[in-house]
Amino acid sequence: MKFDERYTLAIAELKRTPIVEGNYAPPLHRFLRGRGVRIKPPHYNSIGMNIVTTGAPFAILWGAIMWFILWQSQKLTPVMAIGAALVAGTIFGLFMALYYRWSFKQNALTKWDKLEPTSELETPKEVDNEDEAEAPSAQPETDATP
């Protein structure tokens, strides 16, 4: 199965869970996919990949903010600032990777290699009203005829 087909199946599976779209399609992933990079949704990535894809942007952004707001005025060396940003990014990335792994298990998602087209994954689940019509009513039936 091609990557794009499997990606579509993964997104369809994620849409049927209570996971919000911003969580399974974060801005960095949407940005990279828009430029043709083949990247799995974070719930299907390895822990290492999630550490890199969440920790690196965090380290860059947080490090830059800390440099201009605090570290520059404290005369912190650039090497120490980069080191602190890398540590913070790694810790953040690790926690995010662990969250994605927990969420994967919590929502009983299918492993990436096991995603196959089925009627359940191809179309969103719809409520089956026929079952509700056949279910016994909670109200007792009354006979209005004398």
pLDDT in tens, 79-115: 999 999 999 999 999 999 999 999 999 999 999 999 9
Burial category of 10 from C-beta neighbours within 10 Å (exposed 0-12, middle 13-18, buried 19 and up):
buried
Q: Is the pTM of this model over 0.85?
A: no
Measured distance CA(127)–CA(37) in Å, rounded: 36
Residue labelled with tokens 């605090």: 70
pLDDT at residue 16, as a whole number: 95
pLDDT at residue 118, as a whole number: 74
DSSP 43: G
Burial 11-46 (b: 16+ CB within 10 A, else e): ebbbeebebeeebbbbeebeeeeeeeeebbbbbbbe
Report residues of the chain scoring pLDDT below 50.
123-133, 135, 137
Burial 97-129 (b: 16+ CB within 10 A, else e): bebbbebbeeeebeebeebeeeeebeeeeeeee
